[in-house]
Amino acid sequence: MPTLNLPFLGHGGDYNPDQWREYPEILNEDIRLMQLASCNLMSLGIFAWSALEPEEGRYDFDWLEDVLDRLHAAGVSAFLATPSGARPAWMSEKYPEVLRVRPDGGRNLHGGRHNHCYTSPTYRGFVNHMNAALAQRFGHHPAVVGWHISNEFGGECHCELCQAAFRDYLKEEYGTLDALNRAWWTGFWSHTYTDWSQLHSPTPIGETSVHGLNLAWQRFVTRQTADFIRAEAAPLRELSPDLPVTTNLMELYGQLNYFELAKEIDFASYDSYPRWGGPDEEWTAVGAAFNYDLMRCLKQRPFALMESTPSQVNWQEVCKLKKPGMHLLSSLQAVAHGADTVQYFQWRKSRGCSEKFHGAVVDHAGHEHTRTFRDVQAVGEALKKLSGVLGTMPEAPVALICDTENRWALEDCQGPRRDLQYIETVLEHYRALSRRGVNIDVIDETRDFSGYRLVAAPMLYMLRPGVAERLDEYVKNGGTLVCTAFTGRVDRDDLCFLGGFPGPLREVLGVWCEETDGLYDGEANGIAMNGRTYACSTLCDLIHAETAQVLGAYTADFYAGRPCVTRNAFGKGAACYVATRPDAAFLDDFYRDLLDGLGVRPLVDNLPAGVQATRRGDALFVMNFARRPVALSLPAGIDALTGEKVGGRTEIEVNGIRVIRV
Ligand code: GLA
Ligand code: ZN
């Protein structure tokens, strides 16, 4: 299998020369500016379908060849896109079946992007012809180093073709209607299906109360999207077997299971738009780091930072400019976590339409004398100095489970409160681990746990077949597992485990959860542990310690004094249960003690709040997101960015970064 295999750390961005074909002087200027900014990698043709096939069956690729030739001559490589993310008007007009149908059954009109049906044979046919033609013509072009399939896959279609495909999927999945009815508990509200034709996607004007159906539909949407990607990739793989295939993924995107989708691509690529300059920079930095770790883990390989903004976006409620230093810091943060490229949306600001004020390397002013351009140049220079990390993987002693199917089930769950805050909870655990200064893998419940010293699995509500057994095995063999409130409730079809929660994890955790209290926003209970009291919120499991040892107890309400934090020695390892959603102080102390006990040392001792440390290859990245200068003690080594010796007591400026070769 080919993969992302660049001879350099990539630097560049989405490049849309198709919008500028009437401006030859601008296309020339682009090449000069790319060289000036040390850009070596552009993504081309992402939304160029109407330029590539102006009328049905008539391809016009000459302009693209010209651009690729010029890029190549200038030493710039390209990810070449397939244009399926948006389609020409002539196609929607002549073949309305390519248009997406909403859950209410109405068909969309032409417009926007990302609005096609993933099932339509007509659309698949057009895409197949286009991709084959592109691969034929450019699959061996020396500038092309990879395929960028479509753009940010997402959404769903409820047309009749998709309904039929959904029913086929259900037949394959359940075999018989009886099995389906049993798995979905359809006796409830008399929902029993008596013919396959009665099955329909969940819709607000029809069925939404059968959780098994909702989950099956979400799995189907992932499967159909993956199938579409596979179909897109087929001609590319056939005609240019050496080129890797990717598609760009989004921040914590909840509608698709990326761990499944990742099976269809050769490397992951990610579009990163953190709210730098927002209300809480540490939290923003935590979210960014979390997503990078997830992207790296999708393929267990370095990923491409396919998009980021060199200045501001144009779609957040408020679009902040990056403050001095932040562009370099935020770009290298991605590299620290495993990115082999730093790319932007977008190279040049478009002149019209909805993204004309989105940040770009080249502004409407058109020249290089801008703060943003200088920031981009600085990243280009830095990447050259960091080429030593190319292709290396950060090694993590700790894994955090963030499972998309579990998320679907939790987000669909009614009770014990409306918003169970799964993602927020996972991020809180990530923040505590990150504050401890260790590398973290973000995985889902299907992955291998065996290599980790610690596996944190907050709110693992749904346990698909085999997961509990594998967690058992992991702990038996010496692993440490952390579970939290509302764990082990349902199976893969959202049927509750009978015989006491946390279901199949009851033995390894050594606790039985009898009831769960929901807390209002702003309402708190407390945890008394090790002579300290911490706050907790959202959910409180009322547990009985069966074989587990009690480490902490609730401080308030009628369950004050009852167990809240437990540890169960099991085989050669241990499993902890934190029966609620504790505050940050608890998580910081808890993970510090746990990791210390396991002998997992921080990469940097006593990290100040807002400072992150990550190790990739022989490079230690220390990054200051604290919005104030910080002083800390660093290991000795050479700073890869300045060439100077560093180590010992060091001050890092606001938005500063040190990359130390150790
Ligand atoms: C997404 C898309 C891009 C662009 C950017 C703007 O990531 O992939 O085409 O719209 O957002 O931030
Ligand atoms: Zn459809």
Q: Are 466 and 570 within one domain?
A: yes
Q: How many helices (H) and strands (E) would you count in the chain? A: 17, 25
Nearest ligand to the CA of 14 is 1
Residue 632 has a pLDDT of: 97
The angle that helices 281-299 and 422-435 make with each other, rounded to 10 degrees, is: 100
Q: How far, CA to CA in Å, does 545 sit from each of 95, 110, 508, 531, 630?
A: 63, 59, 12, 20, 43
Q: What is the mean pLDDT of residues 168-180?
A: 98
Q: How far, CA to CA in Å, does 455 sit from each of 198, 228, 526?
A: 42, 34, 25
Q: Are 419 and 554 within one domain?
A: yes
Atom of ligand 1 nearest to the CA of 46: 9
Q: What confidence tens digit (pLDDT) does each residue in 229-250 have?
A: 999 999 999 999 999 999 999 9
Q: Under DSSP, is residue 497 helix (H, G, I), strand (E, B) or coil?
A: coil
Question: Which of 133, 110, 129 has the alpha carbon at shortest distance from 121?
Answer: 129
Q: What is the CA(137)–ligand 1 centre distance, in A?
A: 27
Q: What confidence tens digit (pLDDT) does each residue in 339-365 have?
A: 999 999 999 999 999 999 999 999 999
Nearest ligand to the CA of 162 is 2
Q: What is the CA(250)–ligand 1 centre distance, in A?
A: 9
Quick check: 1 pLDDT over 90?
no
* DSSP collapsed to 3 states, 491-544: CCCCCECCCCECHHHHHHHCEEEEEEEECCCCCCEEEEECCEEEEEEEEEEEEE
Q: Is 499 inside any structural domain?
A: yes
**Do β-strands 454-457 and 525-529 pair in parallel, antiparallel, or remain unpaired?**
unpaired
Q: What is the CA(117)–ligand 2 centre distance, in A?
A: 4
CB 486 within 8 A of CB 453: no
Q: What is the CATH number of the domain that holds 71?
A: 3.20.20.80
Q: Are 68 and 34 within one domain?
A: yes
Question: Which of 293, 539, 259, 296 has the alpha carbon at shortest distance from 405?
Answer: 259
Q: Angle 255-423-567 (CA atoms, 0-180°, nearest 5)?
A: 130
Sign of CA dihedral 599, 602, 604, 607: negative
Q: Are 325 and 434 within one domain?
A: no
What sections of 337-421 are H helices per DSSP? 371-385, 404-412
Q: How far apart are CA 526 and CA 308, in angstroms?
A: 41
Q: What confidence tens digit (pLDDT) does each residue in 470-524 have?
A: 999 999 999 999 999 999 999 999 999 999 999 999 999 999 999 999 999 999 9
What b/e readout covers 376-398, taking b as 16+ CB neighbours within 10 angstroms? bbbbbebbeebeebbbebbebbb
**Nearest protein Cα to ligand 1, atom 7:** 271
Q: Are 364 and 445 within one domain?
A: no
For tokens 């082990």, the residue is: 488
Q: What is the CA(375)–ligand 2 centre distance, in A?
A: 44
Atom of ligand 1 nearest to the CA of 250: 7
Q: What is the CA(345)–ligand 1 centre distance, in A?
A: 6
CB 267 within 8 A of CB 3: yes
Whether the model clears a pTM of 0.75, i.e. scores above it, the answer is yes
Q: What is the CATH number of the domain that holds 623?
A: 2.60.40.1180
Q: Is 606 inside any structural domain?
A: no
Atom of ligand 1 nearest to the CA of 151: 8
Q: Is 427 inside any structural domain?
A: yes
- Domain containing residue 129: 10-158+220-387
Nearest ligand to the CA of 310 is 1
> 338: which 2 tokens?
């495993």
Q: Are 382 and 412 within one domain?
A: no
Q: What is the mean pLDDT of residues 37-52?
A: 98
Report the catalytic residues.
152, 307
Q: Are 434 and 352 within one domain?
A: no
Counting ligand 1 atoms within 8 A of each CB, the residue from 322, 355, 361 with the most, and so the one to mutate, is: 355
Nearest ligand to the CA of 121 is 2
**231 burial type by CB count under 10 A (0-12 exposed, 13-18 middle, 19+ buried):** middle
Q: Is 192 inside any structural domain?
A: no
Q: What confidence tens digit (pLDDT) does each residue in 2-34 have?
A: 999 999 999 999 999 999 999 999 999 999 999
Quick check: 335 pLDDT over 90?
yes
- φ/ψ of residue 274, rounded to 5: -65, 155
**Nearest protein Cα to ligand 1, atom 3:** 345
Question: Which of 391, 218, 411 has the alpha carbon at shortest distance from 302?
Answer: 391
Q: Is 166 inside any structural domain?
A: no
Run of H or E including 300: none
In single-letter form, the type of residue at position 631 comes to: A
Q: Is 525 inside any structural domain?
A: yes
Q: What is the mean pLDDT of residues 164-188?
A: 98
Q: How far, CA to CA in Å, does 338 sit from each of 292, 360, 403, 437, 553?
A: 7, 24, 21, 16, 40
**Nearest protein Cα to ligand 1, atom 4:** 345
Q: How far, CA to CA in Å, does 637 sit from each of 192, 415, 642, 661?
A: 67, 53, 12, 5
Q: Are 342 and 409 within one domain?
A: no
Nearest ligand to the CA of 250 is 1
Residue 551 has a pLDDT of: 98
* Structural domain count of the chain: 3
Q: What is the mean pLDDT of residues 165-189?
A: 98
Q: Are 415 and 364 within one domain?
A: no
Q: Is 277 inside any structural domain?
A: yes
Q: Under DSSP, is residue 529 helix (H, G, I), strand (E, B) or coil?
A: strand
Q: What is the CATH number of the domain that holds 416?
A: 3.40.50.880
Which residues have C-beta within 8 Å of that of residue 126, sequence separation ≥ 6?
87, 91, 98
- φ/ψ of residue 362, rounded to 5: -110, 120
Quick check: 188 pLDDT over 90?
yes
Domain boundary pick from 598, 622, 653: 598
CB 379 within 8 A of CB 11: yes
Q: What confidence tens digit (pLDDT) does each residue in 520-541 have?
A: 999 999 999 999 999 999 999 9
Of the pLDDT bands very low, low, confident and very high (cuts 50, 70, 90), residue 138 is very high
Report DSSP letters for 48-78, one per residue. -HHHH-SBTTB---HHHHHHHHHHHHTT-EE
Counting ligand 1 atoms within 8 A of each CB, the residue from 15, 319, 320, 345 with the most, and so the one to mutate, is: 345
Which residues have C-beta within 8 Å of that of residue 136, sequence separation ≥ 6?
239
Q: What is the CA(351)–ligand 1 centre distance, in A?
A: 16
Q: Under DSSP, is residue 233 helix (H, G, I), strand (E, B) or coil?
A: helix
Q: Are 241 and 361 within one domain?
A: yes
Q: Under DSSP, is residue 535 helix (H, G, I), strand (E, B) or coil?
A: strand
Domain boundary pick from 364, 387, 410: 387
Q: How far, CA to CA in Å, does 313 sit from each of 108, 322, 359, 560, 587?
A: 27, 10, 6, 48, 33
Which residues have C-beta within 8 Å of that of residue 251, sequence separation ≥ 6?
271, 272, 273, 287, 291
Counting ligand 1 atoms within 8 A of each CB, the residue from 149, 269, 271, 308 with the most, and so the one to mutate, is: 271
Q: How far apart are CA 486 and CA 581, in angstroms?
A: 10
Q: Are 528 and 549 within one domain?
A: yes
**Nearest protein Cα to ligand 1, atom 12:** 313
Of the pLDDT bands very low, low, confident and very high (cuts 50, 70, 90), residue 646 is very high
Question: Which of 109, 207, 121 has the alpha carbon at shortest distance from 162?
Answer: 121
* DSSP collapsed to 3 states, 141-168: CCCEEEEECCCCCCCCCCCHHHHHHHHH
Per DSSP, what are the bridge partners of residue 245? Answer: 147
Atom of ligand 1 nearest to the CA of 271: 7
Q: How far apart are CA 75 and CA 302, in angstroms?
A: 23
The size of the chain, in residues, is 662
Run of H or E including 512: strand 511-518
Atom of ligand 1 nearest to the CA of 314: 12
In single-letter form, the type of residue at position 262 comes to: A
Counting ligand 1 atoms within 8 A of each CB, the residue from 47, 152, 349, 350 with the most, and so the one to mutate, is: 152
Q: What is the CA(272)–ligand 1 centre distance, in A?
A: 9
Q: What is the CA(304)–ligand 1 centre distance, in A?
A: 15
**Nearest protein Cα to ligand 1, atom 5:** 345
Q: Is 252 inside any structural domain?
A: yes
Q: What is the CA(294)–ligand 2 centre distance, in A?
A: 30
**Ligand 1 pocket: which residues have CB below 6 Å?**
151-152, 271, 273, 307, 313, 345, 355, 358
Q: Are 67 and 127 within one domain?
A: yes
Q: How far, CA to CA in Å, does 33 sit from each of 91, 185, 372?
A: 36, 62, 13
CB 297 within 8 A of CB 443: yes
Counting ligand 1 atoms within 8 A of each CB, the residue from 82, 246, 307, 361 with the most, and so the one to mutate, is: 307
Question: Which of 453, 422, 423, 419 has the alpha carbon at shortest distance from 438?
Answer: 453
Domain boundary pick from 323, 357, 387: 387
Atom of ligand 1 nearest to the CA of 152: 8
**Do β-strands 549-554 and 563-570 pair in parallel, antiparallel, or remain unpaired?**
antiparallel
For tokens 């699959």, the residue is: 139
Atom of ligand 1 nearest to the CA of 309: 12
Q: What confidence tens digit (pLDDT) does each residue in 553-607 have?
A: 999 999 999 999 999 999 999 999 999 999 999 999 999 999 999 999 999 999 9
Report DSSP letters for 602-619, one per residue. -SSTTPPTTEEEEEETTE
**pLDDT, the chain, mean:** 98
